[in-house]
Amino acid sequence: MLARTANAHALIIKEVREGISLTEQNKDAGTNDLLISEVLREHEQQLWFITQHLVDTPLADSSTTDGAGGDIRA
Read off the pLDDT of residues 1-19 as tens digits, 9 standing for 90 and up: 888 999 999 999 999 999 9
pLDDT at residue 17, rounded to an integer: 97
Which residue type, as a one-letter code, is found at position 22?
A: L
Compute CA distances 13 → 9, 41, 46, 56, whole Å.
6, 9, 11, 23
The span from the CA of 66 to the CA of 60, in Å, is: 9
> Taking a C-beta distance cutoff of 8 angstroms, is the pair 72, 8 a contact?
yes
The residue type of 59 is L
pLDDT for the residue numbered 63: 60
pLDDT band (50, 70, 90) for residue 74: very low
- Indicate the pTM of the whole model: 0.70
Is residue 35 pLDDT above 90, yes or no?
Answer: yes
Query: Does residue 60 have a pLDDT over 90?
Result: no
Domain boundaries, the chain: 2-52
